């Protein structure tokens, strides 16, 4: 298997969110570019044995070529860090898109307030479709064309089957409980970040903290983007990603 660029989506989403970027990325790119569904998302099967993010990463690792480049958005970034740490031969380079090695806010770390994630967990049990819709709105919050961003994400998301309930639950658990700051600090691979300054889920202050953990970390922030810069600022996003790749 040849090395390739593998795109990992975020919570509640599926591989179609990368569709707009994929075509441009594939042009003049020596490596193959592939977006994958995380287990249980977009119609992908959710094996019964999966109960942790390690299990989920193991499923993806089976299909991963040696020396691949991982581009992980949001929850996909956590998966990418897990894979780079646990399967170093399979990951040559890491690009985190609006992602955070620890999503939950604490006194010394910027992130999402714990009660917000707890609220999502409760809402998911009550009505998963409404919860994902609310999550779409939060992802676009702050973007100068938030309504268009939500519309675009919703359209792309709708092209594949809805996520498996257990996959949604596991993903939220991971956002609530995974603290990969030690993993992130110890990564030997080149690691890059692409962020939105107006992101309501990954505060831009986290970038400096990540650079302290891993001095090799290089980040770029889109001044007017929110949580989905590859949707709101597609051309600019692809240009920056190509320069990293």
Is residue 74 annotated as part of the catalytic site, yes or no? yes
> Which residue in this structure is represented by tokens 């509640």?
12
Is residue 3 annotated as part of the catalytic site, yes or no? no
Residue 124, sorted as left (phi over 0), alpha (psi -120 to 50) or beta, turns out to be alpha
The residue annotated as part of the active site, out of 143, 227, 232, 233, is 227
The residue annotated as part of the active site, out of 3, 21, 68, 74, is 74
> Residue 85 — φ and ψ, nearest 5°?
-75, -45
The residue annotated as part of the active site, out of 199, 226, 232, 233, is 199
Q: How far is CA 114 from the centre of its chain?
A: 19
Residues with Cβ within 8 Å of 76's Cβ and at least 6 positions away in sequence, in order, are: 7, 8, 9, 10, 38, 97, 99
Residue 142, sorted as left (phi over 0), alpha (psi -120 to 50) or beta, turns out to be left
Is residue 204 annotated as part of the catalytic site, yes or no? no
Active site residues: 74, 199, 227
């Amino acid at each position: 298997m040849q090395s390739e660029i593998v795109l990992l989506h975020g919570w509640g989403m599926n591989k179609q969110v990368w569709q707009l970027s994929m075509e441009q990325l594939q042009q003049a790119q020596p490596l193959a570019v592939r977006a994958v569904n995380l287990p249980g998302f977009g119609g992908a099967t959710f094996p019964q044995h999966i109960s942790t993010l390690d299990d989920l990463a193991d499923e993806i690792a089976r299909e991963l070529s040696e020396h691949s480049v991982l581009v992980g958005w949001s929850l996909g970034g956590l998966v990418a860090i897990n894979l780079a740490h646990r399967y170093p031969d399979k990951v040559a380079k890491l690009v985190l898109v609006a992602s955070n090695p620890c999503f939950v806010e604490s006194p010394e770390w910027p992130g999402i307030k714990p009660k917000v994630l707890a609220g999502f967990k409760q809402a998911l049990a009550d009505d998963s479709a409404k919860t994902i819709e609310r999550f779409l709105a939060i992802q676009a919050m702050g973007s100068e064309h938030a309504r268009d961003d939500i519309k675009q994400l919703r359209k792309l998301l709708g092209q594949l089957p809805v996520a498996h309930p257990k996959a949604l639950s596991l993903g939220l658990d991971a956002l609530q409980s995974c603290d990969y700051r030690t993993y992130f600090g110890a990564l030997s691979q080149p690691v890059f970040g692409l962020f939105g300054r107006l992101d309501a889920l990954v505060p831009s202050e986290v970038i400096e903290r990540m650079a302290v953990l891993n001095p090799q970390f290089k980040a770029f922030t889109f001044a007017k983007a929110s949580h989905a810069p590859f949707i709101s600022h597609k051309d600019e996003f692809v240009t920056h990603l190509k320069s990293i790749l």
